[in-house]
Amino acid sequence: MNEIANLSLGMWIVKETQLKDFWKRCPDAKGPLAAWIREIEAARYENPAQLKARHGSADFVKDKVIFDIGGNKYRLIVRFRYARSSAVPPLNGIAYILFVGTHADYNNVDVPNL
């Protein structure tokens, strides 16, 4: 498979290791976070409306998206760079992990200024 063909796979996740480090500390988060990773890596969102249509419980604060993970036990904050077909080579999107933690940890995060 050539390099251009690999670009069509889906979104890239930056700082995915942050999620894996978190689930080592909180093992019950592994299943939901691994499912989120699979979903995002297979996705190609061109705008916030497409992301919201797929992840209805996601909240948007400025340029960040907040996901409820594991039945709202955990929170994940992500900044997206949405897909652009007009880019050369085409950009399938990038998800930057900004925060992952318990719901209690999230209550201490200043999301707009993160």
Residue 92: what pLDDT? 85
Residue 83: what pLDDT? 86
User: Could you give the CA distance from residue 4 to residue 8 in angstroms, rounded to a whole number?
Assistant: 7
Instruction: Report the run of H or E that residue 68 belongs to, with start and end.
Output: strand 64-69
Residue 28: what pLDDT? 95
Positions of the chain with pLDDT under 50: 1-7
Residue 90: what pLDDT? 61
Q: Is-contact 82 47, C-beta < 8 A? A: yes
- Lay out the sheet containing 74-81: strands in order across: 12-14, 94-102, 74-81, 64-69, 59-61
Report residue 107 as tokens: 């209550």
